[in-house]
Amino acid sequence: MKSESCCNIRLSRCSILTLLTVFTLNADARSQEIVLSPETEECLACHAELHPGLVASWEKSRHSRTTPGLAMQKSRLERRISSTQIDSKLIDVTVGCYECHSLNTDRHRDAFTHNGYIINVIVGSSDCSVCHAVEADQYSNNIMAHAHSNLVDNSLYRQLIETVNNPHTFEKEHLAIGKSDTLTDNESCLYCHGTRIQVRGRVTRETDFGALEFPVLEGWPNQGVGRINPDGSLGACTSCHPRHDFSIETARKPYTCSECHKGPDVPAYKVYVVSKHGNIFESKSTEYDFDSVPWTVGEDFTAPTCAACHASLLVSGDDNVIVERTHQFNDRLAWRLFGVPYAHPHPVSADLEEVKNSAGIPIATELDGEPVAEFVITEQEQKLRNERLQRICLTCHSSEWTGNHFIRLDNTIQKTNEMTYEGTRILMEIWNNGFARGLSQGENLFDEEIERVWTSLWLFHTNSTRFASAMTGGGDYGVFANGRYQATEQLYRLLDWLKTQKTIYGGSTPMRREDGN
Amino acid sequence: MKSESCCNIRLSRCSILTLLTVFTLNADARSQEIVLSPETEECLACHAELHPGLVASWEKSRHSRTTPGLAMQKSRLERRISSTQIDSKLIDVTVGCYECHSLNTDRHRDAFTHNGYIINVIVGSSDCSVCHAVEADQYSNNIMAHAHSNLVDNSLYRQLIETVNNPHTFEKEHLAIGKSDTLTDNESCLYCHGTRIQVRGRVTRETDFGALEFPVLEGWPNQGVGRINPDGSLGACTSCHPRHDFSIETARKPYTCSECHKGPDVPAYKVYVVSKHGNIFESKSTEYDFDSVPWTVGEDFTAPTCAACHASLLVSGDDNVIVERTHQFNDRLAWRLFGVPYAHPHPVSADLEEVKNSAGIPIATELDGEPVAEFVITEQEQKLRNERLQRICLTCHSSEWTGNHFIRLDNTIQKTNEMTYEGTRILMEIWNNGFARGLSQGENLFDEEIERVWTSLWLFHTNSTRFASAMTGGGDYGVFANGRYQATEQLYRLLDWLKTQKTIYGGSTPMRREDGN
Amino acid sequence: MKSESCCNIRLSRCSILTLLTVFTLNADARSQEIVLSPETEECLACHAELHPGLVASWEKSRHSRTTPGLAMQKSRLERRISSTQIDSKLIDVTVGCYECHSLNTDRHRDAFTHNGYIINVIVGSSDCSVCHAVEADQYSNNIMAHAHSNLVDNSLYRQLIETVNNPHTFEKEHLAIGKSDTLTDNESCLYCHGTRIQVRGRVTRETDFGALEFPVLEGWPNQGVGRINPDGSLGACTSCHPRHDFSIETARKPYTCSECHKGPDVPAYKVYVVSKHGNIFESKSTEYDFDSVPWTVGEDFTAPTCAACHASLLVSGDDNVIVERTHQFNDRLAWRLFGVPYAHPHPVSADLEEVKNSAGIPIATELDGEPVAEFVITEQEQKLRNERLQRICLTCHSSEWTGNHFIRLDNTIQKTNEMTYEGTRILMEIWNNGFARGLSQGENLFDEEIERVWTSLWLFHTNSTRFASAMTGGGDYGVFANGRYQATEQLYRLLDWLKTQKTIYGGSTPMRREDGN
C-alpha cells in the first residue's frame, strides 16, 4: 500500500505540460512500471482541466497505479483480474482513459471521432470483460444483468409500471391512464433496473476547445444493473464499482447496495443495518480492511457486509478458501425472496423471458403460490446453494445456530406466501363480484385503490417480512416496520372493503362498475 | 492500549501446535500475566479452525487480553469488573472459551459432555455475573430483563401478537385466525423481547472431528434482551455486548440500540440521528474515544450517545462523577414513554405480571389514561430520576435550557395521551354500535381494519411524537414522520369510518355483524 | 493542523487557578498570538466547572485557537471570516465566551447583568455578523431566515398547523379543534422553522455560586433556521454550525442537513444517502478533508455533500474558483421543488408575506399550478442559477450527462404538478358535492380524512418524487418509497372515496354534512 500511495499525484494542480512530465517522472521513479499510454496522456491534457473531479477520482483508483501485466503477476487468491489473455497493447500501460473508452469501437453505437481518436462515451460490461472476463461472465448469469428486459418485457410488470409512472387524468368517475414517457421511466424503475441507451444522432457543441461533435444519447445518464449499453452488452459494472476510482472498498460496503435495496419492496439494506451484523459493522468498520484480496474472515472484518455473504472470495486466516468469488449473486441463494407475488426457488435462467404459469401469467408460480417446476431450480440445487452460503455462517456460528436460522426462514417463506394467498382470495372475490375490475375482467390489476391494498400486501409487507427473516435480524422489518403488522392490516382492509361493498350493493354486480371502470 | 494490542496474534494462521506455543510464548513475553487455561487452549485447538471468525473476534476482545485479577486492580472509576469475590480458578487466567462456557453447569439444561468437559452452549446473564455482579443485578431490575414474560404472559398483548403473527384464513366474509407457531414468534416479537430457550433432547452430528452429541435447542439463536436462558436466568448480555469481542465501543454507539429501537413503535434511534446530538455524533464520532472508562464528557465525546444518557458512568475532566453507571436504564427515566396505549410514570417493578387496571385489563393506566398509582413510581421518584438525567444535560446546557426541555416533554405526554383518549372514545362508539366487535363484545381488539387504525394511532404515532419530544430533537418524528400529522389523520379516519357505517346502517346494530365477525 | 492541536488543553482537568495559568502559558508559548480576554477568563473560571462539556467543545473549536486578527491575514480563498472592519477590542483576542455573548447588548431583550457584566443568553445572527458579515447578509436573503414568519403568518399553513398540532375533541360525529399551545408548536413545526424567542421577565435561581437572576425565555431552547432572536435578528447560525465548536466539518457533512430534511415532505437526506453521491460519500468520507478552505473538488472530496452543491466555495486543484461560497442556498437553485401544493420557480423574495394568487390564497401558484409571475424568479434567472449549479456537476460529468439530468428534472416537475392537479380536481368535486367541507365552503382544507389523502399526495409523494429526480438518484423515493406508487395510490383513494359517497348519497348533497361538519 505505502509504495503505491506515493504515486497519487495531484494532476489538477499542474499545468498541462508539467502534468505530462510529472507522470513520466513518476513512472521513471518506479522503474518504468507504471506508464500512461500516449493516448491517455492526451485525454488528460484536456480533461484534467475540464473535469478535475473525475480525473482526481481516477488518480485515486488502482487503475491509475498498476497495469494489467502487473496485476496478472499476483497469486491466484490475490489476483483482481481474471482474464488470462490480454492484448499486448494494454498489458504494460496503466488503465487510463483511452484503455477503457476505446475498446470494441465497432460494436459501439456511441463511438465517435474525438480529436482524431474513436472514443466510446460509455464503457460497457463487455469492455470491462477484457480484463475481468470471469466476473463479466458470471454477471451475465446474474438476474441483475437482465433487470431491464425482465421488467419491461413482462406484460404483468408493465401493467404495474403504467399505473405508477404514467399520467392519470380524472374524467367523470374515472382515472384515465395516459401514455408513458421515457424520461419518467428512465429515472424511476429503470434507475435501478437499467435503461436502454440509444444513440439518437449527433450534435455539435461549443466547448472550451472549439466546436466538437458528440453522439446524442437517450437513457443517459444511468448506472442501473441491467443497463443495455450502446454496444449491446448488458449491465453497468459502475452500479457497484462507481466511477472513476472503481473502489473495491465501495463495492464491499453496504451503502452501495442500499442504492437499490432500501425501498419497501426490497428493504435488504434496512434490515442489514438493524441486524447484529449491521450493528457490529457500523460500530467497528473503521478498523476493517476493505481493500484486501482475498478477504480474511475475522481478520479483515468481524461482521459480514452484503458483499461478504453474496459475492466476495473469503478465506480464513490460513488462506483456506471458504467461498470463491462470484458475480452471479444467487450462486449462494436458494430462494428468490422477492415475490411477485410469491417467493419461490430461484429461477433457473437469469433471463426470465420464457417464464409463465399455467394461467399464462408471466410469473414463476401458479396463482396459489406453487412454483412452476420448469422455471425454478431443483431442491438439490437449493441445497447446494444453501450450503455455500452456510459455509460463511459457520465461520462464526455453530451448525445448530446456522441450521435453526434456515429452518426459520423456510417457515417464514411458507407462512408469508400463505398470507399473500389469502389476500389474493379476497381480491378474487372482489373481482368476481365486479366490485373492482381486474383478473376476472381481463383488466389492469393495479389501477384501483383496493387492488393497491393487495399489491402492497405482497410487494412491501410479505417481502419485507422475508428479508427480515433471511438476514438474521431486522426484527421490526418483520413486525411493525412494513412487516406482519402491516401485512395482516392489508388483509383486514381487503375484507373491510369487500364487506362495505356487499352491504351497499347487496351482493349483486354494482351498476356503477358496468361503465368499464 | 499499545502494549495490549501486541498480543492480538493471529490464531487462525497457525497450525494447532504452533498456536499453542505462540500463546504460551506470548504470555511469557508479558511476564506470565496473560495465561490461557489449558481447557481454553484445548477449545481453541479445534475451534480456531472450525470457526475462525468467532475466534478472531474473541482475540480482539479485552477478555483475551486480561484476567479478572488484573481487571480488579484498577481504580474504582476505571474498573470494568464489579464482583469483589472471584473464584481462584478464574482469577489469573484469560477470560477464554472455557471460563465462560463451563460455569454453573448444574443449572444449565443446555450443558453437555464435549470432549470430556461439561460445556454450556449458552452463556447466561448469571454466568456473566460471576465477574460483573453489579451490572447483572441492576439489569435484573431493568424492564428489559423481563421483556419476554412481560409480553407473552400479558393477555392483552397476546391478542395483538395473535393478530400479527398467526395465520389468517379467509372464510366467507371472515378472517379466521389460526394457531401460533413458535418459529414465527421467535423471529418476530421475540427477536427483541427474547425467546425462551428450551432443550429438546440430544442429537448426534457428524463433524470434522467425528460423530459428536449436542443438545437440541428451541428458541435458538436469539439475543433478545429478555431471553430466558437454559439456566433459568433472564437476559442476553450479548444484546448490547455482542460476541465474541464484547466491545464497550459497540455498546456505547447508538447502532446497537437501533437493533430494537428503530421501528415505528419505538423510533428512538431514528429520532436520535436527526437530533442535534445525533448530527454531531455522526460528524465527529471518529474523533471520540469510545473505550475509555470512566467516560469523560467533552473530552472523550462531545455529543452524547444512547449509552451516555441512559447507562454509562460519566465524569467531568477532573474525574468528578456526573452519574454512576447503571444497567437499570430507567434509573434516569421518569416516564415510560412507550404507551400501550398511554404513557405513564415508570412501573415500580420490572416484572409487570401483577399490573392491571380497575377494568381488569393488564396495563398500568385506566381506559382514560389515568395511571394506576399502585403500579407506577411516585412523583417524588420521578423527580429523582429526572434530576439524575438532567445532571448530564447540565454538563453542556444551562438550567433554563434543560428545565424548559422537560416542561415541553411533560406537556407533550399530556397532549398525546389526550389524543389517544379521543381516538379510544371514537372506537368505543364504534364498538358500542356493533360496527366492529371488540371491548364491548369481549372480543379481540386488534383484528379488524378500524381497530388497527386506532392501534396505529397510539402504537406508532403518539409514541413517535413523545420520543421526538423527549430526545431533544427529531422534529419530524413529532410532525410529518409518524408524528402528529399521522396521529390526527387516524382520528379523522376513525371518524370517517364511523360516519360511513352510521349512514349505511342508520345507526342500528348492523345485521352483518351478528355472525360473530 | 499539528501546530494548532497542541493548544487543545484540557480545561476541565484543572482547578480554576491552574486553568488561567495554563491559558496564559499556552498563549506565551505561541508568541502571545492566542490571548483570552480577561472577561472570557472570568467566564471560564466558573463555567468550565459548571458546564465541562460545553467548554470542552469550545476548546476544540477554531474560535478557541485563533483571533479575528489572525483570521483576516489569510488569502481571499482561505479566509473564513468576511468582515473587513472588526472592532479593535475583538481583533487580537481569542473568540471566547465574552466576545460573542456581550455584543449589541442594547438590542438584546435577553441581556442581563451577570457578575458585573451585561451578557446575552442567546447569540443571534447579527452578533455572528460582526465577523461573518457577508454570510449573515447572504443568509438574510435565504428563504430559511424567514422560515418562522413564512410559516406562521401564512393563513393557509396555519390551517394545516392547527389540524396537526391542536387538541381534537370527539363531539357527536365531529372532531372539535381546540386552541393551539405554544409548547407544542415550538417543539414540532418550529423545531426546524425556528421559534420566536420572547423574554418573559426575570427569575432568581439558586446556583452553586449563590442566588443569581436570569431572564425567563419562551421558545427556548431552539436552533431552528428562522428563529427570531431576542435582538430581533433572524436565524440561528447554530442550526448548521452547532455549539460550541462551530465546526465547518459538521456543517459540510450531510448529517447536519438531515435534522430538517429527512421527513416525508422534504426527504432530501434520504434521497442523498441512496444516491451514487451519498453511497460514495458514505464509503469514502473518512478519507476526505472536511476542514480545508477553499474546498478542492476531487482532492478534498470525491463525492459532493449537501454543502458542496448548495453552499461551499469550491475550487479545482489549481485554485480556480468553480463556485463562490453562498449562504443564500437558492443561489444555485432554479426551482422550489417543495410544492404547497405545486413546485414552481423560486420565489423572488425570501420573505413570502406578500405572496398570493388570484384566488387570494397565499401561495405562489394558481390552483391549477400556474406560477404567479410577480412572485417568482424569471426564466432567465432560473437559467443563471442552473448554470451555477451545473458548474459543479461538470467537474465530474460531461455536459451531455449534466444536461440530460436537468431535462429529466424539468419533466418530473411538470408531471408531478399535473398529478397534484388531478388530485385537486377530484377533491374539488368532493367539496362541490358537499361530501367533505373545504374550499367550496370556506372551511379548513385539512381536517377531514379525505382532505388528508389529498394533502399527503402533494406534501409527501409528489414532493418526494421531485427530490428523487433532482438529486441524481434515490430511485425508490420516486417510486415505491413515498414516490409515484403512493402518489397514484392517493389518486385511486380519492376516486374510490368519491364513488362510495356518490353511491351512498345518490349524488345529492348529503344530509349528514349539513350540520357543519
Mean pLDDT of A183-209: 96
Mean pLDDT of B100-124: 97
**Distances, alpha carbon A289 to alpha carbons A249, A298, C53, C256, C434, in Å:** 8, 11, 33, 28, 65
Cβ contact (<8 Å) for C280 and A242? yes
Cβ contact (<8 Å) for C184 and B279? no
C-alpha cell at C263: 421527513
Q: Which chain B residue has the Cα nearest residue A487?
A: B164
Q: What share of chain B is helix, strand, coil (3-state, %, to 5)?
A: 50, 10, 40
Query: Using 50, 70 and 90 to split pLDDT, how confident is the model at C416?
Result: very high
Cβ contact (<8 Å) for C183 and B491? no
B314 in reach of chain C (CB within 8 A): no
CB neighbour list of residue B6: distance below 8 Å, 6 or more residues apart:
none
C-alpha cell at B20: 499453542
Give the distance, in angstroms, between the CA of residue A510 and the centroid of all CA atoms in the same chain: 44
Mean pLDDT of A19-27: 41
Cβ contact (<8 Å) for A188 and C483? yes
Cβ contact (<8 Å) for B460 and A475? no
Interface test with B, best of A286, A426, A476, A504 (most B CBs within 10 A): A476
User: HEC states along A329-382?
Assistant: HHHHCCEECCCCCCCEECECCCCCCCCCCCCCCCCCECCCCCECHHHECCHHHH
Give the distance, in angstroms, between the CA of residue A32 and the centroid of all CA atoms in the same chain: 39
Q: What residues are paired with A310 via a beta bridge?
A: none
Evaluate whether A339 touches A417 at the Cβ level (below 8 Å).
yes
B459 in reach of chain A (CB within 8 A): yes
Residue C322's φ and ψ, nearest 5 degrees, are: -90, -50
| B58: DSSP letter | H
| B344: DSSP letter | E
Residue by residue, DSSP assigns B211-231 as EEEEEEEES-S---TT-B-TT
Lowest mean pLDDT among B92-106, B148-162, C251-265, C496-510: C496-510
Query: Using 50, 70 and 90 to split pLDDT, how confident is the model at C258?
Result: very high
| B203: DSSP letter | E
Cβ contact (<8 Å) for B283 and C249? yes
Evaluate whether B119 touches B133 at the Cβ level (below 8 Å).
no
Residue A382's φ and ψ, nearest 5 degrees, are: -60, -45
CB neighbour list of residue A209: distance below 8 Å, 6 or more residues apart:
A46
B264 in reach of chain C (CB within 8 A): no
pLDDT of A8 higher than 70: no
Between C80 and B504, residue with greater pLDDT: C80
Q: Which residues of C touch A258 (CB under 8 A)?
A: 273-274, 279
- Contacts of B509-512 with C-beta under 8 Å, sequence gap 24+, read B509/B433, B509/B434, B510/A503, B510/B434, B510/B435, B512/A499, B512/A502, B512/A503, B512/B173
Residue by residue, DSSP assigns C37-78 as -HHHHHHHHHHHHH-HHHHHHHHTSSGGG--HHHHHTS-TTT
Buried/exposed B133-150: b ≥16 CB within 10 Å, e otherwise: bbbbebbbbbbbbbbbbb
Residues A68-103 have pLDDT tens digits of 999 999 999 999 999 999 999 999 999 999 999 999
Tell how many helices (H) and how many strands (E) occur in chain B.
23, 11
Q: Which chains share 3+ C-beta pairs under 8 angstroms with C?
A: A, B
Q: Which of B302, B396, B478 sits opposite C51 (nearest CB)?
A: B396
Mean pLDDT of C315-333: 95
A187 in reach of chain C (CB within 8 A): yes
Question: For residue C33, what pLDDT is reported?
Answer: 60
Cβ contact (<8 Å) for C401 and A220? yes
A residues 28..87 contacting C (CB < 8 A) = 49-57, 59-60
C-alpha cell at B470: 423527549
Between C513 and B288, residue with greater pLDDT: B288
- Dist. CA C465–CA C479, nearest whole Å: 7
Cβ contact (<8 Å) for B51 and A485? no
Query: Using 50, 70 and 90 to split pLDDT, how confident is the model at A299?
Result: very high
Distance from CA of A78 to the nearest CA of C (A): 22
Mean pLDDT of B477-490: 97
- Dist. CA B223–CA A419, nearest whole Å: 27
- Dist. CA C121–CA C114, nearest whole Å: 10
Residue A221's φ and ψ, nearest 5 degrees, are: -80, 155
Q: For C287-354, where are the E strands, in sequence order?
A: 295-296, 314-315, 321-323, 335-336, 344-345
Give the distance, in angstroms, between the CA of residue A471 and the centroid of all CA atoms in the same chain: 18
A186 in reach of chain C (CB within 8 A): yes
Q: Which of C407, C481, C504 sits opposite A264 (nearest CB)?
A: C481
B residues 491..510 contacting C (CB < 8 A) = 491-493, 495-496, 498-500, 502-504
pLDDT of C27 higher than 90: no
- Dist. CA A24–CA A14, nearest whole Å: 13
pLDDT of C355 higher than 50: yes
CB neighbour list of residue C199: distance below 8 Å, 6 or more residues apart:
C109, C110, C215, C216, C217, C218, C230
Residue-averaged pLDDT of chain C? 92
- Dist. CA B417–CA B319, nearest whole Å: 41
Would you give the end-to-end CA distance of chain B in angstroms?
66
Tell me which amino acid residue B177 is: I
Cβ contact (<8 Å) for A298 and B245? no
- Dist. CA B61–CA B85, nearest whole Å: 23
Residues B328-374 have pLDDT tens digits of 999 999 999 999 999 999 999 999 999 999 999 999 999 999 999 99
Question: For residue B244, what pLDDT is reported?
Answer: 95
Size of interface A-B (CB pairs under 8 A): 187
A118 in reach of chain C (CB within 8 A): no
Cβ contact (<8 Å) for C399 and A205? yes
Q: Which of B54, B181, B264 sits opposite A396 (nearest CB)?
A: B54
C399 in reach of chain B (CB within 8 A): no
Query: Using 50, 70 and 90 to split pLDDT, how confident is the model at A504?
Result: confident
Comparing CA positions, the residue from C4, C94, C27, C30 lying closest to residue C291 is: C4
Cβ contact (<8 Å) for C56 and B394? no
Lowest mean pLDDT among A23-32, A374-383, A497-506, B235-244: A23-32
Q: Which of B164, B187, B223 sits opposite A485 (nearest CB)?
A: B164
Cβ contact (<8 Å) for B397 and C51? yes
Cβ contact (<8 Å) for B504 and A502? no
pLDDT of A472 higher than 90: no
Q: Which of B280, B316, B475 sits opposite C52 (nearest CB)?
A: B316
Query: Using 50, 70 and 90 to split pLDDT, how confident is the model at B15?
Result: very low
Q: For B225-328, where are the E strands, in sequence order?
A: 295-296, 314-315, 321-323
Distance from CA of B481 to the nearest CA of C (A): 6
Residue B87's φ and ψ, nearest 5 degrees, are: -50, 135
Q: Is the pTM of this model over 0.80?
A: yes
Neighbours of A122 (CB within 10 A): 24
C-alpha cell at B397: 446546557
C247 in reach of chain B (CB within 8 A): yes
* β-pair type (B314-315, B295-296): parallel
Distance from CA of C85 to the nearest CA of B (A): 32
* β-pair type (C344-345, C335-336): antiparallel
pLDDT > 90: what percent of chain B?
A: 88
| C145: DSSP letter | G
- Dist. CA A440–CA A458, nearest whole Å: 20
Question: For residue B474, what pLDDT is reported?
Answer: 65
Question: For residue C34, what pLDDT is reported?
Answer: 73
Q: Which residues of C touch B317 (CB under 8 A)?
A: 10-14, 52, 56
Query: Using 50, 70 and 90 to split pLDDT, how confident is the model at A447?
Result: very high
Q: For B115-236, where are the E strands, in sequence order?
A: 117-120, 168-170, 175-177, 198-207, 210-218
Q: How many residues does chain A have?
A: 517
C-alpha cell at B141: 431490575
B24 in reach of chain C (CB within 8 A): no
Comparing CA positions, the residue from B126, B117, B108, B127 lying closest to residue B217 is: B108
Q: Which residues of C touch A170 (CB under 8 A)?
A: 422, 425-426, 429, 491, 495
Evaluate whether A318 touches B50 at the Cβ level (below 8 Å).
no
Query: Using 50, 70 and 90 to split pLDDT, how confident is the model at B420?
Result: very high
* β-pair type (B295-296, C111-114): unpaired
- Dist. CA B474–CA B472, nearest whole Å: 7
Question: For residue A1, what pLDDT is reported?
Answer: 29
pLDDT > 70: what percent of chain B?
A: 91
Question: For residue A12, what pLDDT is reported?
Answer: 35
Neighbours of B86 (CB within 10 A): 18
pLDDT of C513 higher than 80: no
Residues A143-190 have pLDDT tens digits of 999 999 999 999 999 999 999 999 999 998 899 999 999 999 999 999
**Distances, alpha carbon C465 to alpha carbons A175, A507, C424, in Å:** 20, 40, 18
A479 in reach of chain B (CB within 8 A): yes
Residue-averaged pLDDT of chain A? 92
- Dist. CA B438–CA C309, nearest whole Å: 55
Cβ contact (<8 Å) for B188 and A492? no
- Dist. CA B240–CA B245, nearest whole Å: 11
What's the farthest any 2 CA atoms get from each other in chain A? Answer: 89
Query: Using 50, 70 and 90 to split pLDDT, how confident is the model at C474?
Result: low
Cβ contact (<8 Å) for B412 and C53? no
C-alpha cell at C210: 449563590
